[in-house]
Amino acid sequence: MSLLVVGSVAFDAIQTPFREAERVLGGAAMYFAVAASFFTKVNVVGVVGYDFTARDAEIFRRRGIDTQGLERAPGKTFFWAGKYSADFTDRTTLATDLNVFATFNPKLPSAYRTSPYIFLANIDPTLQRSVLKQVSRRPKLVALDTMNYWIERTPAELRETLRHVDVLLINDTETRQLSGEHNLLRAAAKIRKMGPRTLVIKRGEFGALLVHGDTVFAIPGFLLDEVQDPTGAGDAYAGGFMGYLASVGKHDVKSLRCAMVYGSVLGSFTCERFGPERLRTLTRREIDARARHFAKLTQFSL
Ligand code: AMP
């Protein structure tokens, strides 16, 4: 079943302890779409500027991603710059130039209005809600990502949007900030009262937690012998998670557990190379092999 993503397509400047680059293709919607495209048909809604070339768009074309909803506006593409600490545990944002994103108003092409699966990547919660208002048929599953910026600056709008969301995928710091609770289980219970029935708490190299009904499920981070760049890993996680659910067309506990594994697999591959480089060469075969590896990594009997 098709999957719609709305969010940023960007150029990133990235500094890691090993390498620096000035213009790397990025954006949450780009990482999400490419990761999800290994599982299902993906439609993208976003905006780029005049500096976004046909060569940049290749990444979508090669993965069969529909970009009818990727608007081109006068101005420069959204730009983000970030720097990682020596051990990758910390990331500092050096610049966020909204450019064409500043006046972005997502418009769903008519073919996207019946999307059964929707992912609202990290953008203004009011814009996220405007996407849901344009949908003509009730989606099977709506998931959302957000960040500290919106939690702090537009809490009321975020709360209103959360009422219309089934799955919230955020990191542990944001979980604590949104709920005002340090304990993650209590935090999850509070957030689930805000709307989302399912909460996925991403914990970077430590994996992720699923809280759904009475189920708590934990997945470790996949241990890599070399991390080059964690940028986009969270969005690729969401892409693997939602892409898998859209491909099986259901979201019972068993499917959600498998989706957690595929999320971790896509997140881990993303970290192996700079920007989206690893995603460009990745194959479904490699994804499935790593998913099986995860099963071995966590299997035991009592
Ligand atoms: P992640 O590493 O998963 O947090 O995602 C990094 C990606 O998010 C980068 O490629 C950025 O271009 C994009 N990004 C950073 N800040 C923002 C923002 N304020 N709004 C939308 N996208 C952003």
Asked if 91 and 85 count as a contact pair (C-beta separation under 8 A), the reply is: yes
Ligand 1 centroid to 136 CA: how many Å? 29
Q: Which of 114, 97, 104, 106 is nearest to 26 (CA)?
A: 97
pLDDT above 90 (res 28): yes
For ligand 1, whether the C-beta of 196 sits within 6 Å is no
What whole-number distance in Å separates Cα of residue 168 and Cα of residue 194?
10
**pTM exceeding the 0.85 threshold for the entire prediction:** yes
Asked if 208 and 202 count as a contact pair (C-beta separation under 8 A), the reply is: yes
pLDDT above 90 (res 270): yes
Residue nearest to atom 6 of ligand 1 (CA): 232
Average pLDDT over residues 149-158: 96
Provide the pLDDT for residue 19: 93
Q: Which of 162, 141, 165 is nearest to 150 (CA)?
A: 162
Residue nearest to atom 12 of ligand 1 (CA): 27
Strand partners, 217: 210
The two tokens of residue 132 are: 């849901």
For ligand 1, whether the C-beta of 231 sits within 6 Å is yes
pLDDT above 90 (res 40): yes
Across the chain, what does the average pLDDT equal?
A: 96
| Largest distance between two CA atoms of the chain | 62
What whole-number distance in Å separates Cα of residue 71 and Cα of residue 10?
13
Provide the pLDDT for residue 267: 96
On whether the 3-298 domain is CATH 3.40.1190.20, my answer is yes
Ligand 1 centroid to 274 CA: how many Å? 15
For ligand 1, whether the C-beta of 229 sits within 6 Å is no
Ligand 1 centroid to 298 CA: how many Å? 31
Dihedral sign, Cα of residue 57, residue 286, residue 259, residue 82: negative
pLDDT tens readout for residues 223-268: 899 999 999 999 999 999 999 999 999 999 999 999 999 999 999 9
pLDDT tens readout for residues 63-100: 999 999 999 999 999 999 999 999 888 999 999 999 99
For ligand 1, whether the C-beta of 234 sits within 6 Å is yes
Q: How far apart are the first and last CA of the chain?
A: 38
Ligand 1 centroid to 123 CA: how many Å? 9
Percent share of the chain, pLDDT over 90: 94
Pocket test for ligand 1, best of 231, 237, 264, 277 (most atoms within 8 A of CB): 231
pLDDT tens readout for residues 159-173: 999 999 999 999 999
* 50 three-state secondary structure: coil
Place of tokens 């995603």: 279
Ligand 1 centroid to 300 CA: how many Å? 37
What whole-number distance in Å separates Cα of residue 136 and Cα of residue 269?
35
Provide the pLDDT for residue 298: 86
Atom of ligand 1 nearest to the CA of 80: 12
pLDDT above 90 (res 205): no
For ligand 1, whether the C-beta of 6 sits within 6 Å is no
Provide the pLDDT for residue 171: 94
Average pLDDT over residues 125-151: 96
Pocket test for ligand 1, best of 80, 119, 151, 264 (most atoms within 8 A of CB): 80
Tally Cβ neighbours within 10 Å of residue 254: 10
Instruction: pLDDT band for 204, please (50, 70, 90 cuts).
Output: confident
Instruction: Identify the H or E element spanning 248.
Output: helix 233-248
Instruction: pLDDT band for 30, please (50, 70, 90 cuts).
Output: very high
